[in-house]
Structures are given as C-alpha cells and as structure tokens.
C-alpha cells in the first residue's frame, strides 16, 4: 500500500499543485491524506480549500489544523502574522468554505495509522513535537503503530522500542527511511506550503507499507510567484521571504 501525506499547505497554490503533480507522477497512491493547515499565511485559500474538497470527494482524508480552526472559529490566539493572515483569509472566503473547514476532524485512524495535525496528545491544544519527550507523550496517547503529524514544518521520524525512549532521526530528502517492524513511529511530515528546515522546496511524505519505508519527497516550485502574490495581497512581507529561504 502506498500513502501520500501532505501537511501544512497554507494556501500556497503553487506548492500544492507541484506536489499533487509529483504525487501522481509516482502513480496514484492508495491513500491520500491532507494533514491539516490548508489555509493561513498564503494567498490562495479559496483555491486550496476547493481543491481539497474535490480530493476528499474522491476519497482523500483531510484533518483539521490549528490555522483551519482559527479561520473557522475566528480565533486570535496566534502570532501576529498568523493572526493577520487569519483575518485576511476570513474576509475572502465564503461561508461554504468556512463550513468545510469547520467540519474537518481533529484526527482519523486508518488501519494501524493515526493521522493528526499536531500530536496524538491533546490534539486540540496543538502541541509541537520538537523533541523526544513530546514524541514520547504523543505515542503514549495512542496505540497506533504509526502516528503521522505535521505542524512543526520540519521533517522528522521518531522510532520507539517498547518501554524505551524514542530516538529522533532527521530523514534525508528523497532517501527512503526504514519503518521498523518492532518499533512504533511518529512521522513528522515536512510542510508543503511553508517549509522551515532550510530547504525551500515543498515536502510531502510517501509511505510504502510493503517495503516498510517512508520518504520525505522534495518538490521545487515557483515560490517567487507565491511571494509576489503575498505582497500583492497585502499580506506581511516576511511570509513571502520565508518561502524563499525555507525558514
């Protein structure tokens, strides 16, 4: 079984399109997952929500992210740029778009895999998994063999043997990392629409359950165009700059 997992698209149309093209170039996956944060930061929320709705209609799974929740519920408990982008997004989308976001589930289980945007541990509080402790708490809140998260925008895999502390691994771009038969895993997908690991190329996860491998696939896209749109839309300039440097 092949699974493509796309997280943190953040209303970045160019990155989303490039990644979907890359997904289909590799043969249609058996499971397509949108792991939350469809909107926020980026200039194309309508395009991304509608595309996501189409994919869901075709069988894709889609999870709620903290930015999706903030847009749906008009929340303001975020950083200044994120708050600004939430308000900017709310002004542009229709109630149908808001409805789509509002109905997204916090997590979904499929087979031995749990999909959740931030962490299995108190998912609605949106904790970040940035270290072994957070990964350990995530695993102890679930019994799935694999927990797939996004939220940090930095790819990582945590491997945990029963009764032991997980180990952190930073997977190499485009190199398949092994999934171990005797361990549990937290796989942190890099971001499609706003990578922060120093590489501006969009990132998605490709899982092959037969080969027991997960690959952080990197897809270069026209981030200058996205940056231009961000400036033209009156969104904060830093949101364009960070796409360029991948931070």
Indicate the residue among 86 and 188 with the shorter CB distance to other proteins.
188
Instruction: Select the residue interacting with other proteins from 60, 169, 236, 247 (CB under 8 A).
Output: 169
3-state helix vs strand vs coil in the chain, percent to 5 = 35, 20, 45
Q: 144 or 157, CB closer to other proteins? A: 157
Q: Which is nearer to other proteins, 167 or 245 (CB)?
A: 167
State which H helix or E strand residue 72 sits in.
helix 66-73
User: Smallest distance, Å, CB 125 to other proteins?
Assistant: 29
| C-alpha–C-alpha distance, residues 244 and 199, integer Å | 9
User: Is residue 167 close enough to count as binding other proteins by CB under 8 A?
Assistant: yes
Interface pattern 122-161 for other proteins (x via CB under 8 A): -----------------------------------x-x-x
Work out how close the CB of 218 gets to other proteins at its nearest, in angstroms, rounded to a whole number.
14
As a whole number of angstroms, the distance between CA 187 and CA 133 comes to: 14
Which of 60, 78, 130, 178 touches other proteins by CB under 8 A?
Answer: 178
Least distance CB 156 / other proteins (angstroms): 11
Does residue 181 belong to the site contacting other proteins (CB under 8 A)?
Answer: yes
Q: Which residue spans within 18-59 are E strands per DSSP?
A: 31-34
Q: Which residues contact 238 (CB under 8 A, 6 or more apart)?
A: 81
The rounded distance, in Å, linking the Cα atoms of 195 and 6 is 12
Residues in 59-88 at the binding interface with other proteins, rule: CB under 8 A: none
Select the residue interacting with other proteins from 24, 103, 172, 228 (CB under 8 A). Answer: 172
Backbone dihedral region for residue 8 (phi beyond 0: left; psi -120 to 50: alpha; all else: beta): left
CA 128 from centroid of its chain's CA atoms: 13
* Contacts to other proteins by CB under 8 A: 157, 159, 161, 164, 167, 169, 172, 175, 177-178, 180-183
């Amino acid at each position: 079984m092949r699974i493509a997992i796309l997280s943190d698209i953040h209303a970045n149309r160019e990155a989303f399109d490039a990644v979907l093209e890359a997904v289909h170039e590799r043969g249609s996956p058996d499971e397509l997952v949108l792991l939350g944060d469809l909107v926020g930061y980026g200039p194309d929320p309508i395009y991304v929500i509608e595309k996501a709705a189409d994919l869901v209609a075709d069988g894709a799974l889609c999870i709620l992210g903290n930015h999706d929740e903030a847009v749906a519920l008009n929340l303001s408990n975020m950083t200044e740029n994120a708050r600004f982008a939430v308000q900017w997004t709310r002004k542009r989308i229709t109630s149908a778009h808001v409805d789509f976001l509002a109905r997204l589930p916090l997590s979904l289980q499929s087979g031995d895999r749990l999909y959740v945007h931030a962490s299995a541990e108190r998912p609605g509080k949106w904790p970040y998994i940035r270290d072994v402790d957070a990964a350990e708490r995530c695993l102890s809140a679930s019994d799935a063999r694999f927990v797939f998260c996004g939220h940090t925008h930095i790819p990582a895999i945590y491997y945990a043997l029963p009764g032991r502390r997980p180990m952190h691994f930073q997977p190499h771009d485009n190199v398949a990392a092994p999934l171990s038969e005797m361990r549990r895993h937290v796989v942190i997908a890099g971001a499609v629409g706003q990578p922060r690991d120093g590489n501006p190329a969009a990132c998605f996860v490709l899982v092959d359950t037969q080969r027991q491998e997960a690959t952080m696939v990197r897809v270069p896209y026209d981030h200058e165009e996205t940056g231009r749109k961000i400036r033209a839309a009156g969104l904060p300039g830093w949101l364009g700059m960070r796409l360029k440097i991948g931070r």
